[in-house]
A and B are shown apart, each in its own frame.
Chain A
Amino acid sequence: MERKIERYCVPGTVEEAVEAIAGKDATLFAGGTDLMVQTRSGKRPFTPLLVNISRIAGLGGISTDGDRVRLGALATISGIRTSALLKEKAGVLTEAADSFAGDQVRNKATVGGNICNASPAGDMIVPLLLLDAEVELASTAGRRMLPLCNFFTGPGKTRRERNELLTAIYFPIPPVGFAAGFRKFGTRPAMDISIVSVGVAATRDDAGWKNVRAAFGAVAPTPIRGTRTEAAIEKGGTAGEIARIAESEVSPISDVRASAWYRKELIRTLTERLHHDVFET
């Protein structure tokens, strides 16, 4: 096992961090709840430079910033789960955090880690896609923003450059009339990887549901938006019709956790149930 860590550094600021990783193949450690499992199993060996980013000042926090909400990259899943701000403005994140792992993992796991790990089953990603989130990336060259829906390129793969640090996630404060929901399906109620997950969101005005968003987890190489499902909801189709469109829009694989057939079945059932709960009641 190439466990040979040659240098370990613990930057205190974003500047120090981006300086440390510039031009290097660094391993970034936030909560470590993905990293430790992956390095131990040999799936993803440590690189010679290990950078512990968990002490960087100002990299955490959940706050409003003008008309946007800012989640610091180090915001923990527990922090998200108990945030009064999010509960009020974006309860769908609270809901997702609540079905995430168990207390010990939630206390350590960060939202930045969940996004950068880029698992198709990452449970914070689907709700953040519903909220039109953007990620902020920092390097010695400065900062840039990228829409979350363009961030992922494959399982474990993102558009983040090796010398970049994810610093924060931003999303517009949802307007009045906004409604959203998230359902994760594992074979047990806690401590399970999503076999599939589904989220829907929209804003109600006099004419009906506008700005519809639908997103799915664990049914494609990355978490995805369901644009045809969105269109069908906007048009006001029945829950059954919408669910069938959702099913046709995903292309899951079969693995040891579930077959592609079962994942499609679940997408249909959960979308139908979610449509009922979010848009019909």
Chain B
Amino acid sequence: MTGLIGKRVPKLDAPKKTTGETRYLQDIELPGMLHGKILRSDRVHARIVRIDTDEAKALPGVHAVITAKDTPGVPLGHGKDNTPLKGDKVRCIRDEIAAVAAESEEIAEEALRLIRVEYEDLPAIFSPADALKEGAPVIHGKHPDNIPFRFDYAHGDVDAGKEESDIVIEDTFTLHFVTHCCMGVSGVIADFDSSGNLTLHSLTQIPFLFKKDISPVIGVPPGKIRVIQPVIGGGFGSKLDIYPFEPICVFLARAAKRPVRIVFTREEEFVASPTRQPVELTLASGVKKDGTLTFRDVRTLHDNGGYTSWGATTPFVIMQTISSLYRVPHCRYHTTVVYTNNPYSGSFRGYGNLQATFAVESHMDRLAEAVGMDPLAFRLHNAQEPGETTLQGMNFDTCGLRECLETASAKSGFLEKRRAYRSKQAGPVRRGIGIASLLHVGGGAKIYRTDGCGTILKLDDFGHATVMTGSTDIGQGSETVIAQFVAEELGIPISAINVVNNDSEITPWDVGVHASRTTFIAGNSALRAAKKAKDKLLAAAAKKADLSADGLDLRDGHVVDAATGKPIVELGKLIRSLHFTQRSDIVMTTEYYEPPSVMQDREFKGNVSASYAFGTQVVELEVDTETGIVRILKVTAAHDVGRVINQLGIEGQVEGGVVMGIGYATTEHLVVEEGVVKNPSFRDYKLVTAPETPEIDSTFIETIDPEGPAGAKGIGEAPAICISAAIVNAIHNATGVRFTELPLTPERVLRRLKEERE
């Protein structure tokens, strides 16, 4: 034991990133590599009449120009309703029409300008409600009603729940478009060898599913595709699907017979990478006079945009919060997903849960007020206990919701401040404090028949370990956590560990980075592989020293006597003695960890995750009632994380998530007007900057999950989920006005405050 668990361990990739040594996709130059650029539609819904590429092809330096007719047109993406290049019609502003590979980016851009496209505009749809109207334009012929998906979930009997209720409230919540804003823009390099083997330098979060998904689209068998992931400059879910630019790059490489790189411009990243799912959510909730929740009845309308990526499946997560954040005996949920000519959404940290929690936790405050309870007591009254199974079938083996609520409110002085801020405040600037909680998967999510991750662990002759893991590090710090687990188990320093996590030819299978699963699933996998290696080493040492393996342990690079700590043999020496003999052997182990969760049944019920994460955040803020500026002063967060593995990493996750959540609530807005993105730049798409970042006080509730690696649960998404609800609850405390629409830009806040005053 080196005592690494729970310590402040700097991210292993941090020195290279901060000194500029890290090589990103943009830094990789293969010999003979060309630069690819994509011509995108400037129409939102139109028939393509003619595409003329003659002039572009004639431009010196251009090696390939392709359109839909040069490609097989196999559908791609989660909904298989998109093709790499569009030949017949375009359905949204980003649509890919043609692509060029040239000797420089400038030449490729010049060539794009020489391509002439003739369109015939079609009537378009910009709001989900319009998509449902009689006689609305049809966006995909396969779905004449514009509805590609519906989701229904229920438990209990909502009508009975309404009967039992003393108070029923209903609101419609409107959630907007935002996008991931990864510092590293999207991109890929496609490189064929003369035998037709394809290497993709890809930023995907799902290297193994990526191979399978892209294979039919490009007509290359998965066995001939190698995915190498350069250092990824942020994912947040945006790289969970395949997108048209990826097969396009392959088609260009094939046509030009040269490696081709496509890297987005920042503007392109805003226009043509996925967004968070915009949702209109109507929630009715009921409560008895004693403060017991009776029912939730939810209808949502999802703007799917022109095509289907993962955004369409956010109802899986939305319904978890609707059904199981607090005890709700009766629940009904319906989502209609409709096509429009807007941009389309993908997966994004929280995956629908920001939208759901905004509604549910706004209502928790309203219901508390209606029954005359304080928001904390009301939540505690309805909070689950450890050991409960929710009516959707989730087993809360551990559940720190109660401690989260109590800790965050006590540390922030929530109740006292709330009372104080409710009384009349002088001057235009008013203070408020608000609370909200969250539930999210913390032990993976079994959406495929396996939710597993493989590890290969190899110890060299000198006691250094190489951990080959299927899981990807997209900046979240999984490399460091995995190294910690292995170092701890093998009793070697973290500097003696190398994590290989970016080459599908070497690393074993994994589902991908999503559902806050990597520490839990890949961590368990690495830990178990290390345990196997440890068992082997101790058995070998015991045999040689004629001792019992039970009395031995690994510490400080040695096999030691577990009781006294006395070194018995140095690790490298032991390994060499196994290796350099007649019956030689090396120390290499494998593990495929499969969590004990199940896929949901047809009614969306079942224990989909091996563990669940909880959290509470309290926000204290100031509202300038004359300018509408909302200034966040302090966030007090308490998260049930099972067990802290890397204190530094987990604080970073919470702080990053809180800032992302504040952006979602107050400043970030991808402005889409008539299908066109109006603010594709960091000048007008307002990320939260350092001066607006409040003090963040994080407490970690350690419930020691029995299945988690060293007791840990996932934390990746959780910190971003409940803060927008805490913010509107705090604004209500400050001003008496309740907001149901995001973002809370100064203009929107001022307008509402004035309306209320008049």
Which residues of A pack against B, CB within 8 Å? 1, 3, 185, 187-193, 256-259, 261-262, 265-266, 269
Q: B664-689 toward A: CB 8 Å interface, digit per residue (1/0)?
A: 00010001000000110001101011
With a cutoff of 8 Å between Cβ atoms, the chain A residues found around residue B691 in the complex are: 188-190
A188-B689, A188-B691, A189-B691 known; A1 and B683 CB under 8 Å? Answer: no
| The residue from B110, B627, B751 contacting A266, defined by CB atoms under 8 A apart | B627
Closest 4 CB pairs of A and B: A262-B747, A269-B626, A189-B691, A256-B678
Whether A256 pairs with B746 at a CB distance below 8 angstroms is no
Residue of B nearest to A186 (CB): B686
A1, A188, A257 pick with most chain B CB within 10 angstroms: A188
A259-B747, A269-B626, A269-B627 known; A187 and B106 CB under 8 Å? Answer: no
Docked complex Cα distance between A258 and B110 (Å): 35
Docked complex Cα distance between A92 and B628 (Å): 25
Residue of B nearest to A42 (CB): B109
Whether B679 pairs with A256 at a CB distance below 8 angstroms is yes
Docked complex Cα distance between A1 and B105 (Å): 12
Residue of B nearest to A268 (CB): B626
Whether B746 pairs with A187 at a CB distance below 8 angstroms is yes
Whether B110 pairs with A1 at a CB distance below 8 angstroms is yes
Closest chain B CB from A92 CB (angstroms): 21
A185-B627, A188-B667 known; A256 and B684 CB under 8 Å? Answer: yes
Residue of B nearest to A266 (CB): B627
Whether B679 pairs with A188 at a CB distance below 8 angstroms is no
Residue of B nearest to A40 (CB): B265
**Sample (6) of A-B pairs whose CB atoms are under 8 Å apart:** A1-B110, A3-B106, A258-B747, A262-B628, A265-B627, A269-B627
Docked complex Cα distance between A59 and B106 (Å): 35
A187-B745, A256-B684 known; A1 and B109 CB under 8 Å? Answer: yes
Is residue B369 contacting chain A, with contact meaning CB distance below 8 A?
no
Is residue B168 contacting chain A, with contact meaning CB distance below 8 A?
no
A256-B678, A259-B747, A262-B747 known; A190 and B689 CB under 8 Å? Answer: yes
Whether A187 pairs with B671 at a CB distance below 8 angstroms is no
With a cutoff of 8 Å between Cβ atoms, the chain B residues found around residue A190 in the complex are: 689-691
Closest chain A CB from B670 CB (angstroms): 11
With a cutoff of 8 Å between Cβ atoms, the chain A residues found around residue B745 in the complex are: 187
Chain B 732-758 residues near chain A, CB threshold 8 A: 745-747, 750-751
Docked complex Cα distance between A257 and B683 (Å): 10
Closest chain A CB from B606 CB (angstroms): 44
Is residue B692 contacting chain A, with contact meaning CB distance below 8 A?
yes
Excluding A188-B688, A262-B751, 14 further A-B contacts by CB distance (< 8 Å) are A1-B106, A3-B106, A187-B629, A187-B667, A187-B746, A188-B691, A189-B689, A191-B689, A192-B686, A256-B684, A258-B747, A262-B747, A265-B750, A269-B627
Docked complex Cα distance between A261 and B751 (Å): 9
Docked complex Cα distance between A259 and B745 (Å): 12
With a cutoff of 8 Å between Cβ atoms, the chain B residues found around residue A188 in the complex are: 667, 686, 688-689, 691-692
Whether A262 pairs with B750 at a CB distance below 8 angstroms is yes
Docked complex Cα distance between A256 and B746 (Å): 13
Closest chain A CB from B696 CB (angstroms): 18
With a cutoff of 8 Å between Cβ atoms, the chain B residues found around residue A189 in the complex are: 689, 691-692
Sorting the interface of chain B by its residue count into under 10, 10 to 19, 20 to 34 or 35 or more gives 20 to 34
Chain B 688-736 residues near chain A, CB threshold 8 A: 688-692
Which residues of B pack against A, CB within 8 Å? 106, 109-110, 626-629, 667, 671, 678-679, 683-684, 686, 688-692, 745-747, 750-751
Whether A256 pairs with B750 at a CB distance below 8 angstroms is no
Majority SS at the chain B contact face = loop
A189-B692, A190-B691, A265-B750 known; A257 and B684 CB under 8 Å? Answer: yes
Docked complex Cα distance between A161 and B243 (Å): 50
Closest chain B CB from A107 CB (angstroms): 18
Residue of A nearest to B678 (CB): A256
Closest chain B CB from A97 CB (angstroms): 17
With a cutoff of 8 Å between Cβ atoms, the chain A residues found around residue B626 in the complex are: 269
Closest chain A CB from B560 CB (angstroms): 53
Whether B686 pairs with A187 at a CB distance below 8 angstroms is yes
A185-B627, A188-B686, A190-B689 known; A256 and B671 CB under 8 Å? Answer: yes
Closest chain B CB from A32 CB (angstroms): 16
Docked complex Cα distance between A192 and B106 (Å): 30
With a cutoff of 8 Å between Cβ atoms, the chain A residues found around residue B689 in the complex are: 188-191
Docked complex Cα distance between A187 and B751 (Å): 15
With a cutoff of 8 Å between Cβ atoms, the chain A residues found around residue B683 in the complex are: 193
Docked complex Cα distance between A269 and B745 (Å): 17
Closest chain B CB from A71 CB (angstroms): 26
B106, B683, B746, B751 pick with most chain A CB within 10 angstroms: B746
Docked complex Cα distance between A188 and B745 (Å): 10
Docked complex Cα distance between A3 and B105 (Å): 13
B626, B667, B678 pick with most chain A CB within 10 angstroms: B626
With a cutoff of 8 Å between Cβ atoms, the chain B residues found around residue A185 in the complex are: 627
Residue of B nearest to A269 (CB): B626
Closest chain A CB from B746 CB (angstroms): 6
Residue of B nearest to A37 (CB): B683
With a cutoff of 8 Å between Cβ atoms, the chain A residues found around residue B627 in the complex are: 185, 265-266, 269
Docked complex Cα distance between A41 and B686 (Å): 19
Docked complex Cα distance between A145 and B753 (Å): 48
Residue of A nearest to B748 (CB): A262
Residue of B nearest to A265 (CB): B750
With a cutoff of 8 Å between Cβ atoms, the chain B residues found around residue A259 in the complex are: 747
Docked complex Cα distance between A192 and B746 (Å): 14
With a cutoff of 8 Å between Cβ atoms, the chain B residues found around residue A193 in the complex are: 683
Docked complex Cα distance between A185 and B626 (Å): 12
With a cutoff of 8 Å between Cβ atoms, the chain A residues found around residue B684 in the complex are: 256-257
Docked complex Cα distance between A259 and B628 (Å): 14
Closest chain B CB from A119 CB (angstroms): 12
Docked complex Cα distance between A20 and B384 (Å): 78
Docked complex Cα distance between A34 and B422 (Å): 47
With a cutoff of 8 Å between Cβ atoms, the chain A residues found around residue B679 in the complex are: 256
Closest chain B CB from A30 CB (angstroms): 20
Residue of B nearest to A272 (CB): B626
Closest chain A CB from B748 CB (angstroms): 9
A185, A191, A261 pick with most chain B CB within 10 angstroms: A191
Docked complex Cα distance between A83 and B711 (Å): 58
Closest chain B CB from A189 CB (angstroms): 5
With a cutoff of 8 Å between Cβ atoms, the chain A residues found around residue B688 in the complex are: 188
With a cutoff of 8 Å between Cβ atoms, the chain B residues found around residue A265 in the complex are: 627, 750
Residue of A nearest to B631 (CB): A189
With a cutoff of 8 Å between Cβ atoms, the chain B residues found around residue A266 in the complex are: 627
Docked complex Cα distance between A259 and B688 (Å): 21
B691, B692, B747 pick with most chain A CB within 10 angstroms: B747
With a cutoff of 8 Å between Cβ atoms, the chain B residues found around residue A192 in the complex are: 686
Residue of A nearest to B681 (CB): A41
With a cutoff of 8 Å between Cβ atoms, the chain B residues found around residue A258 in the complex are: 747
Docked complex Cα distance between A3 and B627 (Å): 42
With a cutoff of 8 Å between Cβ atoms, the chain B residues found around residue A3 in the complex are: 106
Closest chain A CB from B297 CB (angstroms): 36
Residue of A nearest to B746 (CB): A187
With a cutoff of 8 Å between Cβ atoms, the chain B residues found around residue A269 in the complex are: 626-627
With a cutoff of 8 Å between Cβ atoms, the chain A residues found around residue B106 in the complex are: 1, 3
Closest chain A CB from B75 CB (angstroms): 34
Closest chain B CB from A182 CB (angstroms): 16
Docked complex Cα distance between A3 and B628 (Å): 43
With a cutoff of 8 Å between Cβ atoms, the chain B residues found around residue A1 in the complex are: 106, 109-110
A3, A192, A269 pick with most chain B CB within 10 angstroms: A269
Residue of B nearest to A1 (CB): B109
Residue of A nearest to B754 (CB): A265
Docked complex Cα distance between A65 and B290 (Å): 79
Residue of B nearest to A270 (CB): B627
With a cutoff of 8 Å between Cβ atoms, the chain B residues found around residue A262 in the complex are: 628, 746-747, 750-751
Closest chain B CB from A274 CB (angstroms): 13
Closest chain A CB from B662 CB (angstroms): 11
Docked complex Cα distance between A17 and B109 (Å): 34
Docked complex Cα distance between A3 and B106 (Å): 10
A185, A187, A259, A261 pick with most chain B CB within 10 angstroms: A187
Closest chain A CB from B739 CB (angstroms): 16
